[in-house]
Amino acid sequence: MDLTYNSNHIEGSRLSHDQTRYIYETNTIGVSDQAINVDDIVETTNHFRCIDLVIDDAKNLLSEKMIKELHLILKNGTQDSRKEWFAVGDYKKVPNEVGGHDTALPEEVPEKMKNLLARYRKLNEKTLDDILDFHHEFESIHPFQDGNGRVGRLILFKECLKYDIIPFIIDEDLKWYYYRGLSEWNRERGYLLDTCLTAQDKFKKYLDYFRIQHRD
């Protein structure tokens, strides 16, 4: 619930944490005195399905097929999915940008994604630094028309599980540090790394509460 709430909230969802919890636990939205964007509800339920996929396939190798499947699940049934130019479950057709920065052009994306995954697979045991390097490059390419941040953070979570690294959730308190870390990654990796280590410390509290053993 926390992963879905925070990842969607970073991207502009107006659902509260309680509303997110209601959707997960009861498949209802709960009472609200504010108008709610239907896509926020659809993408929340879809994000829960994405997490199921991430957990089920945690130990499998990361692939383009898996990445595209996450995007397909996330955006399925949204208004975007009804737009002819919006490629749900496939790479973007129209140029986009992130944080005022240019991203890969649509015609560049397939090759850049193949190269990114090829470089990543050549690494033996991935470290947190390796996974974050992949995340930064993925977000720089911004391969999908929308949903890149959420898909990217789902990949982060999955790869941490695969390589026995404590996963983490970027919450509201860490959002701007996370953005700064991505922006400054090529110059100073410590910003993003420290932010994620802080998020890891929060996740350890969940593990401790449920008496799940972990490596510090």
> Any known ligand binding at 100?
yes
Catalytic residues: 142
Query: Would you say 211 and 176 are in contact if contact means Cβ atoms under 8 Å apart?
Result: no
> Any known ligand binding at 153?
yes
Query: Would you say 129 and 191 are in contact if contact means Cβ atoms under 8 Å apart?
Result: no
Query: Would you say 7 and 48 are in contact if contact means Cβ atoms under 8 Å apart?
Result: no
Q: How confident is the model at residue 34 (pLDDT cuts 50, 70, 90)?
A: confident
Q: How confident is the model at residue 27 (pLDDT cuts 50, 70, 90)?
A: confident
> Any known ligand binding at 177?
no
Q: For 33-37, 79-83, 136-140, which range has the lowest pLDDT when averaged over its residues?
A: 33-37
d(CA 201, CA 207): 10
Q: What's the CATH fold of domain 2-209? A: Fic-like fold (1.10.3290)
> Any known ligand binding at 98?
yes
> Any known ligand binding at 101?
yes
Structure tokens at 140: 């720089």
Vertex 118: Cα angle to 116 and 122 (nearest 5): 120
Other C-beta atoms lying within 10 Å of the C-beta of residue 214: 13
Domain range annotation of the chain: 2-209
Local structure of 148: helix, strand or coil: helix
Query: 193-202, pLDDT tens digit by residue?
Result: 999 999 999 9
Question: Is pLDDT at 138 greater than 80 in this prediction?
Answer: yes
Query: 149-205, pLDDT tens digit by residue?
Result: 999 999 999 999 999 999 999 999 999 999 999 999 999 999 999 999 999 999 999
pTM for the structure as a whole: 0.95
- 3-state helix, strand, coil split of the chain in percent (to 5) is 60, 0, 35
Q: Which helix (H) or strand (E) holds 98?
A: strand 97-98
Burial of 54 (0-12, 13-18, 19+ CB in 10 A): buried
Vertex 49: Cα angle to 61 and 120 (nearest 5): 20
> Any known ligand binding at 186?
yes
> Any known ligand binding at 152?
yes
- Strand stretches in the chain, DSSP E: 97-98, 101-102
